[in-house]
A and B are shown apart, each in its own frame.
Chain A
Amino acid sequence: MLLKNTYNEFIKILAKPRSYLGIGALTLLVLLILFAMKADGKSFISFVTASFEQTLSFNGNILNGNLIAFIILQMLIVHIPLLVSLVTGDLISGEAAMGTIRMMATKPISRTQIVLSKFIAGAVYTFILTLWLGFLALIVGKWMFGTGDLIVLNSDGLVILKEQDILWRYGLSFGVAYLALLTISTLSICLSAFAENSIGPIVSTMSIIILFTIIGTLDVSVFDSIKPFLFTTHMASWRSFFEDPVPWTTIRNSVSILVIHNIVLVLIAVYKFNKKDITS
């Protein structure tokens, strides 16, 4: 029954216009960045490398597909949560608003299975969105700008990664970025179990992200103890794969925190939905 309802959820997601809004917006944003980089990317790069030019000389194609993919990820990973929650925040509460949750809940499928099928569908949608971002950033980026070594500016300084040493880093960084986006998806579905309308969970998800991000950036000692446990602190962990050497312990810690968030949020949603009286 779980698989059958998950299939149902895919049909619903595919039929909803808002599902394509996210993919459309993402495509437009990436194409915009690619166009801007093609038009004026060299001056953008020289602005970054200017301070190093007295001590280092840069040869070859610096503005390549690998760097473009990094820039796109850096710019968009903050905005994609909105596109994710736009679809996933609607999965339970949208059905409550429409009245269809009442029809579903009178069928011989457990409420736990209803919620889990929505989580699976939300996870697959988020995966497709991440995959599409990867395709646009890396594949289209390389096609437009060619390939080459990747120069990344970190807090420690400049990191230069050989062309042959990059692809696996992107693979894993997209994996961690997906886990971060999955946490957003899980959060919005969890909030959706508490609401009776679509807008509430979407706005609440974004508010939580903004609040946690502000707490994370505030240099106030009172927040120091909670910062490591906020999921927003680990949303940029994908960047760690572009450090040399790769800080595996930090990445493992981030992955653990995100996984724990996902598990706890799923459990809360299942508990809440099972206890809920459906009066809509």
Chain B
Amino acid sequence: MENTEIIKVQHLAKNFGSFQAVKDVSFTVNKGDVFGFLGPNGAGKSTTIRCMLSLIKPDNGQIQLFGKDLNKHRNEILSKVGSIIEKPDFYRYLSAEKNLAIFARISGKDVSKREIAEMLDFVGLNGRNRDKVGGFSHGMKQRLGIAQTLLHQPDLIVLDEPTTGLDPQGIVEIRNLILRLKSEQNKTVILSSHQLSEIELISNRMVIINKGQSIIEGDVKELLNAQEMVVQLEVNDMEKTINVLNIRFESASFKQINERIIEVNIEKQLVPSLNQTLVQEGVEVHAMEPKRKLEDFFMKIIQS
């Protein structure tokens, strides 16, 4: 991974009247990152992203993109950025290709009709070029939004909740598309999403924001590996299992879900030993599965 900083946000703050939407957000995105942007509703994710795209003027802090100050080099910077904020909105009374032509014309790069047709083909909207967007489904608009984002071949792609409202197939397609953009074109992607599994699957770095502040930032694998693991056990003897945990694994905490299932929060390296001990004590372990790590990690960070 190259370590060229594509985005550097420092101590960003923004108030709307008396409401403090963003208090102190800082993070860095490097070239080639698929950067996860996590936070509960109202955490300040959208406001931060809008500040990064000059839709909202911050009250405080600094935003640098491609090593340049956003305020001073706005147009130069935005010519290298493609984005979807919340949902892509288009001119309902214009066709898909006319919509793309309109946005391409002000994207700072000359885009030919052939390129527009190819892009529509790329996002699976071939044959719908001349259809009015008013008749498009949400998924189709989302695809058109992706086409609009990529048409001028930006170096940085900002996707704010890109899979909202999509069916499972659409979600997988967007996920694959992001992975392709990273692997084939080495694009830098910022992905804000409520779908924690999405972030876990495709991001290499992330930041978690809560109540307008960045809480933690770093490499996804490192952050998750450093934490305790949550495993869900299905056993035949719950009493014996709890005894084993209390006596032999004092550092672990647990939560009984029902008569056969228990969730154990335990250090990763102790998991094989736990399994072995339970079997030695005569407990039948029918299933042992890790719970989604990021989900737990996220909840833990947010609740703390």
Contact = CB atoms under 8 A, between A and B. Distances in A.
B90 A100 contact: yes
Given A16-B93, A105-B55, 15 more contacts: A4-B106, A8-B106, A11-B94, A12-B102, A15-B94, A100-B89, A103-B103, A106-B55, A106-B81, A109-B106, A110-B75, A277-B55, A277-B57, A278-B50, A279-B50
Contact of B105 (A5, A102, A105, A106): A5
Interface residues of B, number: 32
Contacts of B108: 1, 107-108
Nearest to B80: A108
Contacts of B57: 275, 277
A99 B98 CA distance: 17
A7 interface: yes
A17 B93 CA distance: 9
Given A106-B53, A106-B85, A279-B50, A15 B91 contact: yes
A5 B75 contact: no
Given A103-B103, A104-B106, A278 B55 contact: yes
A109 B85 CA distance: 18
A263 interface: no
A16 B91 CA distance: 10
A102 B84 CA distance: 9
B56 A277 contact: yes
A12 B91 contact: yes
B227 to A, nearest CB: 36
B189 to A, nearest CB: 16
A110 B74 contact: yes
B88 interface: yes
Nearest to A102: B85
Interface in B35-55: 50, 53-55
Given A8-B102, A108-B106, A278-B55, A103 B93 contact: no
Nearest to B105: A4
B210 interface: no
A278 B102 contact: no
8 contacts: A5-B105, A15-B98, A99-B87, A102-B89, A105-B53, A105-B54, A105-B55, A277-B57
Given A106-B83, A107-B78, A278-B55, A11 B102 contact: yes
Interface in B1-59: 16, 50, 53-57
Interface string A2-27: 00110110011001110000000000
A160 B107 CA distance: 58
B89 A99 contact: yes
B79 interface: yes
Contacts of A278: 50, 55-56
B268 interface: no
A98 interface: yes
